[in-house]
Structure 1
Amino acid sequence: MKIVCVGGGPAGLYFAIRAKLRDSHHDITVLERDRPGATHGWGVVYWEPLLDVLFRSDPVSARELRAASTMWQGQRVSVGGPQPAYLPGYGYSIQRATLLDLLARRAAELGVDVRYHQYVADQDDLNAIAAEADLVVAADGANSQVRRLAGPDAFGTRIEVGANQYIWLGTDRRFENFMFAFERTEPGWVWFHAYPSAADISTCIVECAPQTWTDLGLDRLSDADGCRLLERIFDGPLGGHRLLSDCHGRPARWQQFTHVANRSWCHENIVLLGDAAHTTHFTLGSGTALAIMDAIMLDRFLHKHADVPAALRDFDQSGHAALGPMQERARISMSWFEGVDGQLDRLSTATQPMDGERPSTGEAPDPVAFAFKMATRQGDETSLRYQILRAAQLPAVRALDQHAGRGTRWLHDKRRTLVTR
């Protein structure tokens, strides 16, 4: 089969790897518009279930990914005061550029033709590719050029834009935990989600309401001045460290989250993968995992069916059914963070202001009460869960959680070793 993947992100590269492993005779080309190593963003997060899938799917790349990843344990939630709340759990993160590099190398080892500086410029380009290939995999992101060129009715694309502004930065402070820091400014609250993603770098996603963004002047400040302002706002959580905007030659930019949904993920011999097919808000941290799961699922259905159209129909139906609940959770999460100013102000012990005024003085909100609200934003809050979270603030309970995490990781690693022998 002749396959062309447009987009050299996790979805396109991992599908190419899986398809080559399934049948080495496939003629697979990956077209990536950027140069090698060029990528937007800093690190991405994932959890044990994805590692389990990767080790079953391709142990070679899974071992490389695990070795290049950073493990973080526990989440800390700061709301302007000196004492953060603690949330249990652990996960992994990896620099996005590192992830793409190891997937591209693995694909090339298997015989995939990975071509850089290749761009589907117009309808003629797309028509030529689709005419020559048995299958065209559009894995070119939320703003997919292939999806756009195929026409507005091909996939039934629906795009909604979130309200909040966010920017994907790095910092030279290496956090040991996943860190949420919320700081009150005169115009409103500003917060970041940060996690370690390399030996000396952490990813730091800053977010705020649109009115706060404009009132702080972040819509007008230069890249450097904007970072300096955010460093002052987050001086405590950052410990005096710098924020970094330039990532592989690309300065970060403020943006609003784009929620992408499609009535169908396939049209003729073109199929959408990853963010081209669907997006989930970054507060769920599942975009990379879903892109890779798309790739594995598509490969499975192509192997199951004798013809491409039947495989694509099955992939489309099953993918929508599996993704629906996840996208609903992502919508809820995005909406919750869009109303986080109100959540924080209601939890504040400040004297209530006159109608229409924002509290500007007083103590910070209770971090544990707020962390509980954030952890249960999907609507699964119970009094027992709150008491468990309160108990987790005790050093002895935190130590027990970390010990349990080490045991869980040992069991996962042992099982993977047995599966991949």
Structure 2
Amino acid sequence: MKIVCIGGGVAGLYFGLLMKQHNPTHDITVVERNRAYDTFGWGVVFSDATMENMRRWDIKSADQIQQAFNHWDDIELHIKGHTIRSGGHGFVGIGRKKLLNILQARCEEVGVKLVFEQEVDSDADFPDADLIIASDGLNSKIRTKYQDTFKPDIALRPNRYIWLGTNKVYDAFNFLFEKTEHGWFQAHVYKFDEQTSTFIVECPEHVWLAHGLDKADQQQSIDFCEKLFASNLQGEKLMTNARHLRGSAWLNFQRVKCEQWSLHNGKSHVVLMGDAVHTAHFAIGSGTKLALEDAIELTAQFQALGDAPENIPEVLARYQAARAVDVLRLQNAAWNAMEWFEVCGERYCDQLAPEQFMYSMLTRSQRISHENLRLRDKGWLEGYERWFAEQAGLSTADGATPVPPMFTPLTVRDLTIKNRVMVSPMAQYSCDDGLVGDYHLVHLGSRALGGAGLVMVEMTCVSPTARITPGCPGLWNEAQRDAWKRVVNFVHQRSDAKIAVQIGHAGAKGSTRLAWEGIDKPLVEGNWPLISASPQQYLKGVSDTARAMTRADMDEVCDQFVRSARWAAEAGFDWLELHCAHGYLLSSFISPLTNQRTDEYGGSLANRLRYPLEVFAAVREVWPAHLPMSVRISAHDWVEGGITPADAVEIARAFKAAGADLVDCSSGQVSKAEKPVYGRMFQTPFADRVRNEAGIQTIAVGAISEADHVNSIIAAGRADLCAVARPHLANPAWTLTEAAKIGFTSIDWPKQYRSAKPQMESLFQREKAQAAAQTGAKG
């Protein structure tokens, strides 16, 4: 084949090298705009795993890179006068110029033709090529020419950064944080040769503008950064090796993601590679990794299918299919890390103690979890667990196994919950005329015995017409109060869990069938009238139509909430939550999707919150002052024009001012037009943002399914409680089971079940040992 690689970066050079080694008869040319052995930029970073992958494909270049690279395991944080260090992370740093020079020399050794100082504007410049590798970088001309086919999604991010170097040598990957009168700056710093370190300075756009850096030339920007980080640089200078010395050197990161990676132009097959097809933020040092692994995968596909020209279409299709999943996973992790750095100044730097800030930073991409940190640096993590336990009021004896964050207590007002696991409210549709019976006694009682710190009962309705279905529980009469009291008494007498009630009104989503008879479908008979903030049908053309509430309706419903709260206190509940989420009555006022009122209860967010806040205030007044009260909100409607996470912060601030102790951060279920993005812990970012921007404790909910999730969320300060739903449905003793899985044996079991405790713990310990042995055997 005749192959042309446009762009002499890592992707083009490494692919040319691998393919020429695979089949020396290929005619391969790499075309580069710069001069021979002349490149720009400081150091690049990739992981130990990428280095091992390279070793399998070309040991000679891998050996040369290994001789030139700098390896380190540690990450070091500098913030607020504190220095914190964690090990076991495994990075490789090498000068970009050195890396490219090694690959250029290796290409020449095996017979790849290198053409320098040639600008390529089009793939049409190579009409006789069978395959054209468009590795022409972030601003790819080839991608732009065929953008209707490649369908690039390019996101310009808000932070500004400048890529500098210094002769100060660091022995770890350093993250430096400095606060100015206008906000926070951070620097990403790592050594890449014996004399030089990369020094990337980053800040939000508004901070950059406030300091006048948009008007600064390169030298003025360098002088600013030297002064800002002077205490760390200790007299060393910062420098640039960029060619263009006029104008600002500050950049915005561009995330590139293409729907299609290749095409046939009528003569040649063209495929994008490296930054031309995908970029990943430098926060996790993955751009070089992606380029190298692109080259490896495309070569592997040619090896597998044969490298004759007629096989190119299938090779390219399989190449994209094979790479797309891994690239998307890494881009998502890089996106999480990038977003963390974009908001850390306003969300974490001032709010979190340095110890917790370090944990949050290490887990920012969500690829590194609590137990993964234990594998990387057990000593550091156990030290952090002791610190966290001390903040929760636990004493930590020297040498004793620290209490995992999920099993630390939480005190809210006068109530202390033994751990951070909450059984989420889950509708059971198993009441008769709003009355709970033996089913709820067993259902909720078994979960209270299962180790959770707090059990929250399903939405309990404030009137017969407030129900979702005829099977929903209520608190509109004394019989229901007494039935709930029986359940509450069992939980208090037979367990050390606390029990909470969630009160609400279904609004336009009421008068429907039991879930297993047709979820959200209206009753066949016996319907009751529906009310909402504005007239609406939840299911267009299917649901009954709710009418808009009048002032008299609002007063009546508010009185119903107050009555239910009083009876909840009399029933002995430890905690009360007001349901203002999921499109139910109070939620219908908050969301602009369901509130089209033109009076003082519609329009602005402040107006839309007016009635829910009135209800909250009335309930808070009658709910015992020494007991907690939370509010559940939909932090994201997942519909354009609906509630956004930024709105959720304002909603939380309003409820905090009204006396709320926590915000339970759920999302969606307001409109059937919603398009949620699911994934593990997918709603936790809402709890994180609300907690650290609104300054109120939060409950995280949504796809939290293992102890590692809970520990990571709580330890990072992303939430204060974790609500676990489906796992608790499948296993009432989920919390006890997860404690055994992670080897936390200090947790207490109900005395009737204690004989099973050592058996379960030894079973999981044996399984863990077997898995470790198998991993060792494979290694």
What band does the TM-score fall into relative to the shorter chain?
Answer: 0.7 to 0.9
Q: Tell me if the contact between 2:40 and 2:241 (Cα under 8 Å) persists in the aligned partners.
A: no
Q: Residues 383, 196 of structure 1: CA spacing in aligned structure 2 closer, same or farther, 3 A cutoff?
A: closer
Kindly tell me the number of residue pairs found equivalent between the two proteins: 372
CA distance in 1 between partners of 2:83 and 2:36 (Å): 40
CA deviations on 1:146-166 (whole Å, 9 max, x unpaired) are 1112x2212111110111001
CA distance in 1 between partners of 2:110 and 2:228 (Å): 48
Task: Give the structure 1 partner of residue 21 of structure 2.
Answer: 21
Shift in Å, 1:199: 1.3
Shift in Å, 1:39: 2.8
Alignment of 1:3-402 (within 5 A): 3-81=3-81, 83-89=82-88, 90-121=90-121, 125-129=122-126, 131-149=127-145, 151-247=146-242, 249-251=243-245, 253-268=249-264, 269-306=269-306, 307-347=311-351, 366-379=353-366, 382=370, 389=380, 391=382
Q: Which has the larger radius of gyration?
A: 2
1:153 is paired with a residue whose SS is helix
CA distance in 1 between partners of 2:380 and 2:66 (Å): 30
2:188 is paired with a residue whose SS is strand
CA distance in 2 between partners of 1:133 and 1:282 (Å): 34
Which residue identity lines up with residue 337 of structure 1 in the other structure? F
2:241 is paired with a residue whose SS is coil
Q: Tell me if the contact between 1:80 and 1:181 (Cα under 8 Å) persists in the aligned partners.
A: no
Shift in Å, 1:273: 0.6
Which residue identity lines up with residue 373 of structure 1 in the other structure? S
Query: Which is further off, 378-387 or 230-239?
Result: 378-387
Task: Give the structure 1 partner of residue 596 of structure 2.
Answer: none
CA deviations on 1:203-248 (whole Å, 9 max, x unpaired) are 001000000001111111121111111111101111121111124x
Which residue identity lines up with residue 284 of structure 2 in the other structure? L
CA distance in 1 between partners of 2:150 and 2:361 (Å): 35
Q: Residues 271, 383 of structure 1: CA spacing in aligned structure 2 closer, same or farther, 3 A cutoff?
A: closer
CA distance in 1 between partners of 2:373 and 2:11 (Å): 36
For structure 2, the 5+ residue unaligned runs are 387-398, 400-778
CA deviations on 1:347-383 (whole Å, 9 max, x unpaired) are 26xxxxxxxxxxxxxxxxx322111111112346659
Shift in Å, 1:327: 1.2
Q: Tell me if the contact between 1:45 and 1:93 (Cα under 8 Å) persists in the aligned partners.
A: yes
CA deviations on 1:70-117 (whole Å, 9 max, x unpaired) are 122311101131x31112123220000000001000001100000101
Task: Give the structure 1 partner of residue 740 of structure 2.
Answer: none
TM-score for both structures, normalised by structure 2: 0.46
Q: Tell me if the contact between 2:41 and 2:241 (Cα under 8 Å) persists in the aligned partners.
A: no
Q: Tell me if the contact between 2:44 and 2:192 (Cα under 8 Å) persists in the aligned partners.
A: yes
CA deviations on 1:246-274 (whole Å, 9 max, x unpaired) are 24x45582111100010111011000111
CA distance in 2 between partners of 1:383 and 1:320 (Å): 27
CA distance in 1 between partners of 2:372 and 2:289 (Å): 31
Shift in Å, 1:202: 0.4
Q: Tell me if the contact between 2:335 and 2:365 (Cα under 8 Å) persists in the aligned partners.
A: no
CA deviations on 1:274-329 (whole Å, 9 max, x unpaired) are 11110111101011011000001001112222411110111111111221211111
Does 1 or 2 have the higher relative contact order (CA < 8 Å, sep 6+)? 1
Shift in Å, 1:390: 5.2
CA distance in 2 between partners of 1:183 and 1:277 (Å): 34
Q: Tell me if the contact between 2:123 and 2:132 (Cα under 8 Å) persists in the aligned partners.
A: no
CA distance in 1 between partners of 2:174 and 2:31 (Å): 36
CA distance in 2 between partners of 1:217 and 1:91 (Å): 35
Which residue identity lines up with residue 336 of structure 1 in the other structure? W
Q: Tell me if the contact between 1:72 and 1:196 (Cα under 8 Å) persists in the aligned partners.
A: no
Which residue identity lines up with residue 318 of structure 1 in the other structure? A
Q: Residues 92, 128 of structure 1: CA spacing in aligned structure 2 closer, same or farther, 3 A cutoff?
A: closer
TM-score for both structures, normalised by structure 1: 0.84
CA distance in 1 between partners of 2:226 and 2:166 (Å): 10
